[in-house]
Chains A and B, each alone.
Chain A
Amino acid sequence: MVVVSEKKRHLATETVEAQPPSKKPLEGENAETMLKEAVEAVEKERAKSEDYLRRLQYLQADFENYRKRVEKEMSDNRQFGNQRLLSEIIVVNDELELALREARGSNENPTIAEGVAMVHKRLQSILSKEGVEKIQSLGSKFNPDLHDAALRVVSDEEEGTIVEEIRQGYTLKGKVLRPSIVKVAENPVERESKSEKSALEEIGDNE
């Protein structure tokens, strides 16, 4: 026992002796570099977490906007989801009207004409139930939001008045489903009187 404790004491003195006073400042330096490293590491981690936070916030905002948009799209879909189908059905309606006109014109088979008229009427009621409405064109003023001008025709009507409808247009719940294709009045007399404005130049035929 004594021997062991002797040895311990000896070892203890040895360790004390093994650390010469000259090494003490070095230990301080070590601590300093360690501290510096630690601070750097913390800084790095902080920058990283700031970056993560920024990204997370960005993603959150992105997601929030996306969610809002999807909600809006869903409500639009509920309202206008059948838009494509309806725009195809109005073509069928066009053809039905054409058939009806033919059948009535020829007067060959009044029963068929009557039958087609009934189908047409039913289709009309389905379309109107879905919110499809006819665009009024004839006699009204040309409006590019609703009408598509195919050509101008010289007329006594006021300039810009629709004088003929080539194809019926429709709206769906207030939105244009298909614009009307129309002919628009061109009034040379009226134009003459406004000729000071006609210094307009066209660039359509460029190059």
Chain B
Amino acid sequence: MSKPETEKIIGIDLGTTNSAAAIMEAGRPVVIPSAEGQTAAGKMFPSVIAFTKEGQLIVGEPAKRQAATNPDGTIIEIKRKMGTDYKVHVAGKDYTPQQLSAFILQKIRQDAETFLGRPTKKAVITVPAHFNDNQRQATKDAGEIAGFEVARIINEPTAACLAYGLDKADKEMKIMVFSFGGGTHDVTLMEFGGGVFQVLATSGDTQTGGTDIDNAIVEYLLTEF
């Protein structure tokens, strides 16, 4: 009796400020914890990449911690540049947003493999509903650079609906998904029917998110006390 193909597809939320991944286990999504352990952001980790002066590449929480000592070698919010010709010149080399995002995805892959105890190849990566074809392709490329076989690129609001099991409903409906992220926020109106989610309209602010609220609180505390 040969063992069946049990390779899991991991779902990746490649965020502007934070990233996370999950797998389905026993019929339920389980968030893969970041190797550095739980942080203030839960199991997510900051989407920060850094090239240290010693030539070391670090990603996630440690990269964020060293940002103040190494602002020139620290890259944040690279998602905003996805699908553009923008290049980051860091540590003597030019990097595309895809290559930099791939570092984040590679970390996710390592964390997933540690968590699952076996190799993971297939992934689904989510993108904002407003992402155009270029941005979607860039995200897919990033996945492939990281060594993933990208099974699908899906819209973040669609992923949210799937997480709440709305696809199991037998009726047609209209859904509004309000996504308040670290660096951006989006509102998407969708229609569901016959197993298909259709984006009717999407809008948001790519420059406002939870981090801005954090900063506003810090500012307030600094001026007040």
Contacts and interface: CB of A to CB of B under 8 A. Distances in A.
A144 B48 CA distance: 13
Interface string B70-95: 01111111101100001011111000
B65 A179 contact: yes
Given A144-B63, A145-B62, A199-B89, A62 B6 contact: yes
20 contacts: A61-B3, A144-B58, A145-B62, A149-B67, A149-B68, A152-B69, A184-B68, A186-B69, A197-B53, A198-B72, A199-B89, A200-B73, A200-B89, A200-B91, A201-B88, A201-B90, A203-B75, A204-B74, A206-B77, A207-B80
Given A58-B6, A145-B62, A206-B80, 15 more contacts: A57-B4, A61-B3, A61-B4, A63-B26, A66-B25, A147-B65, A152-B69, A176-B36, A197-B53, A200-B51, A200-B72, A201-B90, A202-B74, A204-B71, A204-B74
Give 4 closest A-B pairs by Cβ, nearest first: A144-B62, A200-B72, A144-B66, A61-B6
Interface in B1-58: 1, 3-4, 6, 25-26, 36-38, 50-53, 58
A147 B117 CA distance: 29
A202 to B, nearest CB: 5
A202 B73 CA distance: 7
A10 interface: no
Nearest to B116: A65
Nearest to B68: A149
B207 interface: yes
Contact of A66 (B1, B3, B26): B26
A57 B3 CA distance: 7
A176 to B, nearest CB: 7
Most buried by B among A54, A63, A144, A200: A144
Contact of A142 (B66, B81, B116, B207): B66
Contacts of A69: 25, 115-116
A202 B81 contact: no
Interface string A162-206: 000000000000011001000010100000000001111111101
Contacts of A150: 68
Interface string A92-128: 0000000000000000000000000000000000000
Interface string B206-225: 01000000000000000000
A204 B89 CA distance: 12
Contacts of A149: 65-69
B206 to A, nearest CB: 9
A144 B116 CA distance: 26
Contacts of A61: 3-4, 6
Interface in B80-139: 80-81, 86, 88-92, 115-117
A148 B80 contact: no
